[in-house]
Amino acid sequence: MAQEAWKRKELTVGQVAERSGVAVSALHYYEREGLIHSRRTAGNQRRYARHTLRRLAFIKVSQRVGIPLARIRTALESLPDERTPTTEDWARLSRGWRSELDSRIDQLMRLRDDLSGCIGCGCLSLNRCVLSNPRDELAQEGPGPRRLLAPGMECDGGGESQAC
């Protein structure tokens, strides 16, 4: 009789996709990017360790809060491949991102408040809009949406920085 799914030490790509809610194509992409790993059977089929499910949950949650894949990869590289990451492992990683997440929260709250004011006031006037940047006066402060960036955040233009 086939072993119960929860007892299996390794999972097929289809089983991982079903359990994690991540498409097979995304699993292949994550593997190419070094975020997860599999081994190949004699028949060249992928097999994933069960702890891959935790890594995928971490990837999904991290993406949901706006952490770029490059930062997620760096974080995952600090975790052991040979065992299931512990609560302490995850706590250490989340502590490392706390200040960045606090800055993102501040930025989102300012964006929400500014957009509510613009939409709520109904002025639709660039002369009175707090987000307007006439004649690109803010260019000297650096690239990106300067009025929407939280203090201390920068935009490198490539989409991998804290704010962009």
pLDDT in tens, 88-126: 888 888 888 888 888 888 888 887 777 665 555 555 555
pLDDT at 36: 92
pLDDT above 70 covers what percent of the chain? 67
The confidence score (pLDDT) of residue 147 equals 66
And the tokens for 119?
Answer: 């939409």
Q: What strands lie across the sheet with 10-12, from one edge to the other?
A: 10-12, 46-49, 39-40
What's at 107, amino acid-wise? Q
The model carries a pTM of 0.65
Q: pLDDT per residue over 121-158, tens digit each?
A: 555 555 666 666 677 777 788 777 666 666 655 555 44
